Amino acid sequence: MAGVFPRLELGRSIKAIVFASVLGFTAVASSFSGAQAGGPESLADLAEELGDAVVNISTAQKVVAKRSLQLPDVPEGSPFQEFFEEFFNGQEPQGDSPQRVQSLGSGFVIDGEKGIIVTNNHVIEDADEITVNFNDGRKLSAKLLGSDEKTDLAVLKVELGAPLEAVKFGSSEVLRVGDWVMAIGNPFGLGGTVTAGIVSARNRDINSGPYDNFIQTDAAINRGNSGGPLFNMDGEVVGINTVIFSPSGGSIGIGFAIPAETATRVIAQLREFGETRRGWLGVRIQHVTEEIAESLGMKSASGALIAGVSDDGPAKNAGIMPGDVVLTFDGRGVPEMRDLPRMVATTTIGSTVPLTVLRRGEEIPIEVTLGRLDEVAEVEKVEDEQETVKNTADETVVLGLSLAKIDEARRERFALSDEIEGVVITRVAQGSSAEGKRVRAGDVIVEVAQEPVATPKDVVNMVERLEADNRRSALLLLSNGSGELRFVAVRIED
């Protein structure tokens, strides 16, 4: 609900992450000196020009609060009965009582003719009433056109008789670390507050959602700034303020804004459809760790490793396979796993895009026609699962793993579905690299170094081949009992 801000423990150095949209009691403003080298002499003209397009968003919501005190059980006719009844004003002590909760945030006008306003989703979430407060004192009720929880964006519309002052989006892609930026918003309900600073970092992933790509700034952003604009020195909106890191709830110079490049695509869809319509590839992906990169013969750890492919998804139809590493998508490089979901999501549904995958050491071009993302079928990120060979009577031990063929007894013992084929792991040596990567008895080795295996001897042969090639790790494709796949790079012991 707007007005209540979750905190996320981030270790000893940073204690909390706070959405910036609740009323407080004191304001912390960042000082800005025109005498600083390289900075603008004054932001007065810019602030005066843009101020009327920035608005305050107030919301109201009815919530049900349970009464914490209950009428004690006292004897009928007792003098205490009269006392407690007077104390509770004759009301029924049990049950729920509705209360009205209000909160404040910020927003800005992007279409003055049609009365279109942008803010954060968490500012208006679950609100029964939304009111937009303008600099000239006007208050207008707003209608919610659409919102997106994953990017924390919402689009509002107000009905008015005359055009509103509006601002335009600029390009967040050309921003550089060190560029000056200015924020205008409603911190702590004070309204019309201007702060300034620089871009501290770009492309920040703070684990708040699947499409994290935040601009970090040291311009003071406090509770109530949520949904307000972050301007460049040309007066263009390059970000939408949304989150702060803070141990106390006030600004410590670490704030985050949604980049304009991300926001404009989502806003356009919310205006047109009232919802987001994201592209869908139909894959499960993993990070390419240093160990996995080495096991695949890659020069550096980059791209997104395909751990699984949906049977009815676009990737399957295009010929993408588990074990492929996506290096480029639609002509752009894929530096990290987290970049691929964002690239796919912002691509037009039904469009055919080229991508490049690394498969068994060869770069292969593929074209894929994207589907539409179902919220229940979206790209899934798979958490990374971070000895000398000897034989026993019934099992083979390699890489600290006891291996055996899959027979009916072992299929029943480890609850393996009938479709799973490969080599079952019956035991994992304590202290082995495999144990450290959370490999468990009952996992099935489907491939080693992207080659299918059917017997323990196949696994041994592949490991020996990797040792001969001076590989330090063996890349295993593992399946659990239900058939879900993941890749694990297990160290080859000397």
Catalytic sites, residue numbers: 122, 152, 226
C-beta of residue 476 within 8 angstroms of C-beta of residue 291: no
Distances in Å between the Cα of 17 and the Cα atoms of 97, 195, 221, 406 are 31, 20, 13, 48
Distances in Å between the Cα of 210 and the Cα atoms of 11, 205, 309 are 21, 9, 19
Could you give phi then psi for residue 284, rounded to 5 degrees?
A: -110, 135
Q: Which two tokens stand for residue 441?
A: 């008895």
Give the torsion sign (CA, 122, 125, 127, 130).
Answer: positive
3-state DSSP assignment of residue 147: strand
Q: Which of 157, 336, 342, 260 is nearest to 242 (CA)?
A: 260
Distances in Å between the Cα of 174 and the Cα atoms of 7, 12, 151, 261, 285 are 32, 34, 21, 10, 29
**What residues are designated binding site for substrate?**
122, 152, 224-226
Beta bridge partner(s), residue 453: none
DSSP 92: -
DSSP 282: -
3-state DSSP assignment of residue 355: strand
Q: Give the whole-angstrom CA distance, residue 91 versus residue 86.
A: 9
Could you give phi then psi for residue 399, rounded to 5 degrees?
A: 60, 25
Q: How many C-beta atoms surround the C-beta of residue 210 within 10 A?
A: 16
Q: Which two tokens stand for residue 134?
A: 């303008």
Phi-psi region of 400 (alpha: psi -120 to 50; beta: other; left: phi over 0): left
Q: Which of 36, 22, 6 is nearest to 218 (CA)?
A: 36
Helix residue ranges, H only, 3-152: 44-50, 79-87, 121-124
Could you give phi then psi for residue 188, rounded to 5 degrees?
A: 55, 25
